Structure 1
Amino acid sequence: MSDAPSSAAKRPPRQTGTTGAGVRKSASKSVRSRSREFALQGLYQHLVGGNAASDIDLFTRDLAGFHKADAAHYDALLHGCIEQATDLDALILPLLDRKMVEISPIEHGIMWIGAYEFLHCPDVPWRVTLNECIELAKEFGGTDGHKYVNAVLNGLAPKLRAAEVEADRLAGKARP
């Protein structure tokens, strides 16, 4: 028997969790996180290319990894955000320090996702929605886009999830 380490022992351990930049690795993402990523890609196609939700949906379902996403949550986000775009923008616009056309389509789509989840997904805690949107912005947005998304959604949460945010504030957990 040899004292030399086996080839398996020489390999570094499989990495899970986050990358060096703090972004979650694919293996550790939840099905809901993946659905938000696919929805964001679809919302980008809608915002930039004007593509219809049905066309985006057909294209997205064929992408690698879609089977690992929560398809029902993806459907709700993609179709709900596009159908309610005007209402979502009306909620977001008062919290912006610039015109909507000056917001990157990635951050715009992420803010739609956050606002939509605040309104229509009471099973997702507001803090989870906020964190997931910040993570999306870190992974797909501009350098400091996550800070902008954080500020806007943190301003929106007390309006759309008042009781939940207040309960967290009283428990010493809230950010706003």
Structure 2
Amino acid sequence: MSQAQARTLARKCALQAMYQWQLTGYDLVEIERQFVEEHGLGKAEVEYFKTLLHGIPARVDEIDASAAEFVDRPLKEIDPVERAILRVSGYELLFMPEIPYRVVLNEGVNLAKSFGASQGHRFINGILDKIAHKYRSVEIAAAKNGSLRP
């Protein structure tokens, strides 16, 4: 399994863990234990999963604020799966500049296609694209000018 595939799997597990955290409010250490010991992360990149699992709740207000600018309703009214996807991808866009924005958008859309409502991927794509344009404008401009590889 490649590093990219291991990261994709880590994101998928992080999405499921965030969904659980949102709905139950369980302690993050307990959720981590469940995923690592009980569910087993298989070939997922475990450290990346842990980074997302603990990083997202620590900065959830900032992540939610970045998405709230671009949605037409309060975030608490967004489907919990889609809210979790916005949080995972939003965290990567805001706090992990080493991950290309196109990778973040693609991964978020794929998560929405797998776990979200039938047209949820369109909603996710639109919001993540707007967040990326606001917070990754230099990267996007460089990509358009050919300075960075797409």
Which digits, 9 at most, give the CA deviation of each residue in 1:30-81, with x for residues without a partner?
A: 0000000110011001111111211110101124450311111111111111
- CA shift for structure 1 position 120: 2.0
Structure 2 distance, partners of 1:45, 1:138, is 19
Structure 2 distance, partners of 1:161, 1:71, is 27
Counterpart of 1:8 in structure 2 is none
**Which structure would you say has the larger RCO, counting Cα contacts within 8 Å and 6 or more residues apart?**
2
Counterpart of 1:58 in structure 2 is 33
- CA shift for structure 1 position 167: 1.3
Amino acid at match of 2:66: L
Amino acid at match of 1:150: N
Amino acid at match of 1:48: L
SS of the counterpart of 1:107? helix
Amino acid at match of 1:167: A
Counterpart of 2:77 in structure 1 is 102
Counterpart of 2:55 in structure 1 is 80
Moved more, 134-143 or 61-70: 61-70
Counterpart of 1:14 in structure 2 is none
**Aligned match for 1:150, one of 115, 125, 142:** 125
Aligned length: 146
**Are 1:119 and 2:97 an aligned pair?**
no
**Aligned match for 1:69, one of 44, 48, 52:** 44
**Aligned match for 1:90, one of 31, 45, 65:** 65
- CA shift for structure 1 position 123: 2.1
Structure 2 distance, partners of 1:95, 1:124, is 22
**Are 1:39 and 2:14 an aligned pair?**
yes
Structure 2 distance, partners of 1:160, 1:114, is 13
Q: State the identity as a percent.
A: 34
**Aligned match for 2:5, one of 30, 33, 45:** 30
Greater Rg by CA: 1
Which digits, 9 at most, give the CA deviation of each residue in 1:84-130, with x for residues without a partner?
A: 11111111101101121210111111111111111222221100010
Structure 2 distance, partners of 1:144, 1:65, is 30
Q: Which runs of 5+ in 1 are unaligned?
A: 1-25
Counterpart of 1:138 in structure 2 is 113
Over aligned residue pairs, what C-alpha RMSD do you find? 1.9
Return closer, same or farther for 1:63/1:165 CA change in 2, 3 Å cut-off: farther
- CA shift for structure 1 position 152: 0.3
